[in-house]
Amino acid sequence: MLTITHLLVALSAVTGSLATPVAKSTGDDSPDFDFSTNSITRRQDYNQNYKTSGNVNFSPSSNGYSVTFSGAGDFVVGKGWRTGTTRNINFSGSTSATSGTVLVSVYGWTKNPLIEYYVQEYTSNGAGSAQGQKVGTVTCDGSVYDIWKHQQVNQPSIVGTSTFWQYISNRQDKRPGSGTVTTKCHFDAWKALGLNLGTHDYQTLSTEGWGNAGGNSKYTVSSS
């Protein structure tokens, strides 16, 4: 079983290293007005799609994604925005894990400082990518989250091989289905603990798996 986050390298099962997932950006992040609900949302314009080995069938849509997987060595797929912020991220769907480690997270990066972050909503093994040093807890969206930090040394990142910190909120009351992630709640808690973010890069809701992972996910994603 891996004790370190995923993301992504075929060697992660051995070295604990990770790599930047391939992501595709389309459209824009301009507001859309939904006349049926009298509400404004923002378009998801970022498809995250990375795998190293195994069977991973990823199908993005205009407002979410689905994925089935088996025998997966390492993958991450998802839907989101090319620029992160303190948006409230709404997700609706389900995840079923039959083998390996599988997690569903709000996931993103910042620059200056270079930070990789997770808000883990569901982890099939209870920990997911949570590792390193536990530095506190925070209550957000109806659950306590354990807050972790972990340093990656000379590992792949969105700016190439680098040394950077991971910030991780791991939800104690796991929810593989529907909910809202109030990212500001986590960002403020991290800041209070001295875990400062930089300028936001992309931000997604993602399904991730490694260690011969099997299962499926399907979600719609929006923001408010």
pLDDT digits (tens, 9 = 90+) for 80-111: 999 999 999 999 999 999 999 999 999 999 99
State which residues form the domain around 115.
43-219
In a domain, residue 8? The reply is no
d(CA 195, CA 115) in angstroms, rounded, equals 9
Give the N- to C-terminal CA distance of the chain in Å, as an integer.
37
pLDDT bin (cut points 50, 70, 90) of residue 31 is very low
Residue 143: is its pLDDT beyond 60?
A: yes
- Known catalytic residue at 116: yes
Do 204 and 81 form a contact (C-beta atoms < 8 A)? yes
Q: Sign of the C-alpha dihedral, residues 27, 49, 152, 162?
A: negative
> What's 179's domain CATH number?
2.60.120.180
The torsion angle over the Cα atoms of residues 71, 173, 66 and 204, rounded to 10 degrees, is: -100
Residue 134: is its pLDDT beyond 50?
A: yes
pLDDT single digits (tens) 106-121: 999 999 999 999 999 9
Cα–chain center distance at 70: 20
In a domain, residue 9? The reply is no
One DSSP character per residue, 141-155 reads: TTEEEEEEEEEEEEE
**Cβ neighbour number for residue 4 with a 10 Å cutoff:** 20
d(CA 70, CA 162) in angstroms, rounded, equals 31
- Model pLDDT, residue 32: 38
Do 128 and 12 form a contact (C-beta atoms < 8 A)? no
Residue 60: is its pLDDT beyond 80?
A: yes
pLDDT bin (cut points 50, 70, 90) of residue 41 is very low
Residue 51 structure tokens = 């795998």
Do 120 and 171 form a contact (C-beta atoms < 8 A)? yes
- Domains contained in the chain, number: 1
- pTM here is 0.82
In a domain, residue 17? The reply is no
Q: Which of 45, 74, 116, 121 is catalytic?
A: 116
- Model pLDDT, residue 146: 97
Average pLDDT, the chain: 84
Residue 181: is its pLDDT beyond 70?
A: yes
In a domain, residue 130? The reply is yes
In a domain, residue 87? The reply is yes
In a domain, residue 119? The reply is yes
Q: Judging by DSSP bridges, how do beta strands 88-111 and 115-123 pair with one another?
A: antiparallel
Q: Which of 208, 209, 214, 215 is catalytic?
A: 208
Percentage of the chain lying above the pLDDT 70 cut: 80
Do 71 and 214 form a contact (C-beta atoms < 8 A)? yes
Do 204 and 77 form a contact (C-beta atoms < 8 A)? no
pLDDT (mean) for 148-159? 92
pLDDT bin (cut points 50, 70, 90) of residue 26 is very low
- Known catalytic residue at 208: yes
pLDDT bin (cut points 50, 70, 90) of residue 43 is low
In a domain, residue 123? The reply is yes
In a domain, residue 104? The reply is yes
pLDDT bin (cut points 50, 70, 90) of residue 44 is low
Q: Judging by DSSP bridges, how do beta strands 39-42 and 31-34 pair with one another?
A: antiparallel
